[in-house]
């Protein structure tokens, strides 16, 4: 098994929204804002190359925001690049889009699922999948939310994407701990604080377990329990889910993988002398063989 952190398109989003009720004087120590009060965010993915049922395969945890937005919306949501950066990053590792076998999505918000689509510059707004041979693994409740969003988060979903995925005949909807597609080295836990059915994938790697934290813990600053996003639907519930997750990572001496942290791809977690969780042994990039 080989694991690599893969960079996708980057964003600039409002810092206050990303840090909820945390005072700016505090969060700006971690994430300096520009003149529009926006902070830098990554849309990082995790690539796993392993063997399953006697053959080699490529598994991608998420696809980032991609480049599907038209120029006006790309500017509104702070997407920095016109090209589909994830495809370039995969090419640098010798992988073409058609060689991706499985894509796992924590949820269907556009900054996690938009990279499934070819860039607007190629399609002029038509929805076309960038990974033609992949099987798509999605949590049951996350999928249901995308099909029937709440008015509060309706704008976070891509109209027509679920139907496009369904048309491939290669969607596995999961609700338990395991996936038939992925096999025994992968397991799931679920969170409700950010969005219904946020699906957190744990990979049993040769260097120990690593969990893709998605929007439960989008980056190292959010390891601190009180720090939540304005986008979270139930911040208090999310804090308790985060506590349980971090305690579990520490107990198994595992790793946390961060999708939105612009500088840190993964870390271990410790509790300091004040009883606060913090990211330790941080990795800017992850390349495990």
Which pTM was predicted?
0.97
Please, how many CA atoms are within 13 Å of residue 153, restricted to the half-sphere of its CB? 21
CA dist list (Å): 177 to 53, 140, 189, 284: 20, 12, 6, 29
Positive or negative: CA dihedral 269, 271, 273, 274: positive
Tokens of 79: 């997407």
d(CA 71, CA 50): 37
- Give residue 169's pLDDT band: very low, low, confident or very high (50, 70, 90): very high
- Give residue 14's pLDDT band: very low, low, confident or very high (50, 70, 90): very high
- Give residue 109's pLDDT band: very low, low, confident or very high (50, 70, 90): very high
- Give residue 274's pLDDT band: very low, low, confident or very high (50, 70, 90): very high
Query: For residue range 42-83, what is the model confidence (pLDDT) as tens digits?
Result: 999 999 999 998 899 999 999 999 999 999 999 999 999 999
* Residue 34 falls inside a structural domain: no
Give the pLDDT confidence score for residue 221 in this predicted structure: 98
* Residue 222 falls inside a structural domain: yes
Ramachandran sector of residue 197 (left: φ over 0; alpha: ψ -120 to 50; beta: rest): left
CA dist list (Å): 222 to 19, 172, 206, 273: 8, 30, 27, 18
Which strands sit side by side in the sheet containing 102-105, from one edge to the other?
Answer: 171-174, 135-139, 102-105, 55-61, 44-52, 2-7, 287-288
* Residue 241 falls inside a structural domain: yes
Lowest mean pLDDT among 53-57, 251-255, 261-265: 53-57
For 282, list phi and psi in degrees, rounded to 5. -70, 145
d(CA 225, CA 176): 26
Structurally, the chain folds into a number of domains equal to 1
* Residue 18 falls inside a structural domain: no
Q: Please give the mean pLDDT across all residues of the chain.
A: 97
Range of the domain at 66: 2-11+40-288
* Residue 22 falls inside a structural domain: no
* Residue 35 falls inside a structural domain: no
* Residue 89 falls inside a structural domain: yes
Write down the H helix ranges in 31-100: 71-76, 85-92
- In this structure, what CATH number is given to the domain that contains residue 106? 3.60.15.10
* Residue 25 falls inside a structural domain: no
Burial of 183 (0-12, 13-18, 19+ CB in 10 A): middle
């Amino acid at each position: 098994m080989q694991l690599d952190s893969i960079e996708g398109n980057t964003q600039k989003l409002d810092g206050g929204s990303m840090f909820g009720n945390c005072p700016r004087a505090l969060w700006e120590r971690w994430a300096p804002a520009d003149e529009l009060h926006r902070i830098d965010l990554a849309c990082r993915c995790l690539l796993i190359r392993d063997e399953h049922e006697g053959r080699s395969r490529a598994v991608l945890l998420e696809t980032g925001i991609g480049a599907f937005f038209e120029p006006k919306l790309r500017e509104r949501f702070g997407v920095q690049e016109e090209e589909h950066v994830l495809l370039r990053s995969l090419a640098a590792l010798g992988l073409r889009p058609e060689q991706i076998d499985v894509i796992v999505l924590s949820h269907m918000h556009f900054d996690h699922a938009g990279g499934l689509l070819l860039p607007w510059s190629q399609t002029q707004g038509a929805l076309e999948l960038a990974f033609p041979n992949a099987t798509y693994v999605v949590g049951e409740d996350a999928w249901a939310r995308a099909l029937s969003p709440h008015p509060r988060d309706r704008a976070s979903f891509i109209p027509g994407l679920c139907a496009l995925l369904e048309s491939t005949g290669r969607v596995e909807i999961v609700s338990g701990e395991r996936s038939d597609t992925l096999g025994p080295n992968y397991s799931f836990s679920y969170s409700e604080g950010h969005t219904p059915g946020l699906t957190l994938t744990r990979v049993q790697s040769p260097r120990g377990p690593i969990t893709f934290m998605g929007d439960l813990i989008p980056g190292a600053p959010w390891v601190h329990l009180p720090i939540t996003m304005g986008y979270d639907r139930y911040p208090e519930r999310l804090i308790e889910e985060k506590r349980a997750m971090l305690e579990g990572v520490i107990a198994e001496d595992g790793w946390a993988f961060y999708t939105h942290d612009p500088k840190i791809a993964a870390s271990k977690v410790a509790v300091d002398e004040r009883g606060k969780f913090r990211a330790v042994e941080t990795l800017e990039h992850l390349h495990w063989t």
